[in-house]
Structure 1
Amino acid sequence: MLLRTETPADRPAIRELTIRAFADSESGVEPGEAALLDDLFGCEEYLQDFSVVAEVDGNIVGHVIATRGWVDGDVPLLGLGPISVLPDHQGRGIGGALLDEIRDRAAAAGERAIVLLGHIGYYPRFGYVPAIPAGILPSDMSWGDHFMVLALDGHKLPAGKFRYAAPFGV
């Protein structure tokens, strides 16, 4: 598996894998994560170094993106998501490798932390902990423990309300 920074030429494949990863076969409706990605790629908060694809045999099988977010409007953090892996490649460590890559890149860039909204049975194994008890508040308190944070390189976490990149709308 090869992990690398995405390029604009990768975006159709990234969009397709995201649709497949989040598809609801019963509704037949395109998942919102695909449109969100389109908007994230074009927003001010997009950071190319934090948009990573996973390739297997020359095919893109996974993608993760982290965009600029802020605590209390001026303390920069990264907001992770969406992360997608093709259904027939899930359970092979690709998602974990993408999370590790984003963590390593963020730490090397001097970022303080990464926040995400995700499954409490998955992300803690990568070091994520509930953000609310750590002092970082979501825009929607009903997210509870699903709103998580990963502190990087011993940085003290800021306290306050987190705001994702504009396309998230929260």
Structure 2
Amino acid sequence: MDILESFLVGTASTIVGGIVLAVFFFWVREKCFGVADVTGKWHFNMITEKTAYNPYKGMELRYICVVWREGNHLYGSVEKVYEKSSTGEREYVGKNRSRGKLTGAYEKNYFSKDRVHIHISEQGTGRESTNYFTLTVKKQLLGGKFCSFVADQEGTSSWQREPF
């Protein structure tokens, strides 16, 4: 009986210890290495650094958007609210705002910062435009590079929760 009793006690303690470790590692993974909350309202800008059309160099565009996440997929909509270019500054209000659709993916990294890849298809006044972003997640901020089919633009983009 002593051998059977010690076997059962050893087996039970191993099972309980395994369950406790599994719960602990799950908790650590979710709390310390969980996916950042990118869902909600964002304000972002795009500053053109390189372009095939010189008047766009240095141009700043600002947008407001809503993003929601389903698994690692991102969806949303955007509206252009501001432009500063060689022709001056403009704020867009109401019907003057151009709208667009956002799709993307959340890239979870354990040994470096998480990234998001975003594609925005915007219905502008003259034509539809395409913008692609690769952004690094920094808690409540996103930042990185963008490229656009409009005049082969490339530059930087900053995303934040509060308006600029």
Could you tell me the TM-score, scaled by structure 1's length? Answer: 0.29
User: Which structure carries more helix by proportion?
Assistant: 1
TM-score under structure 2 length normalisation: 0.29
Bigger Cα Rg: 2
Larger RCO, structure (CA 8 Å, separation 6 or more): 1
